[in-house]
Amino acid sequence: MKKFILAIDFDGTVATDSFPEVGSLIKDADTVIRKFHEDGHDIIINTCRTGKYEGLAEYFLKKNNIPYHFINSNLPRVIDFYKQDCRKISADYYIDNRNIGGLPSWKEIYKIISKDAKVEGTETTMDVAKKASK
């Protein structure tokens, strides 16, 4: 199974949008993100929150036992490969309530990504980058 980099928005995606406060947990977000983590996908929380507001998001994630690898930062292997760290998070999937068409249910998101992870020949962002650099 392919392992993807998932960039997951916070406000309106993991928690209801109540900025600058943190809203309530969106149905199934915690369960599905934990499952993605168990499946071996890399999880980056990609949020506009900074400073103390980012800290509130981190506290919420910890309190709800939602695992992630980084907040607002690319993975070290991506930074090493490109020899730079750009502001945009490099990911295979961007899960955000501001998507065109809105945010599917978390269970639907899991089905979509899990199906793609099992498709032979599916390339990750890093697969494509490595091919291009040869």
Quote the pLDDT of residue 1.
85
User: How would you classify the pairing of strands 5-8 and 42-45?
Assistant: parallel
CA triple 109-24-29, angle to 5 deg: 20
The domain segmentation of the chain, as residue ranges, is: 5-132
Runs of H (alpha helix) within 41-124: 51-63, 76-82, 106-118
- With tokens 């980012």, the residue in question is 54
Class of the domain covering 5-132:
alpha beta
Q: Which amino acid belongs to residue 39? A: D
At 4-43, the pLDDT tens digits run: 999 999 999 999 999 999 999 999 999 999 999 999 999 9
Q: Nearest to residue 27, comparing CAs of 116, 108, 115?
A: 108
- Prediction pTM value: 0.92
In the structure, what pLDDT confidence band is assigned to residue 134 with cuts at 50, 70 and 90?
A: low
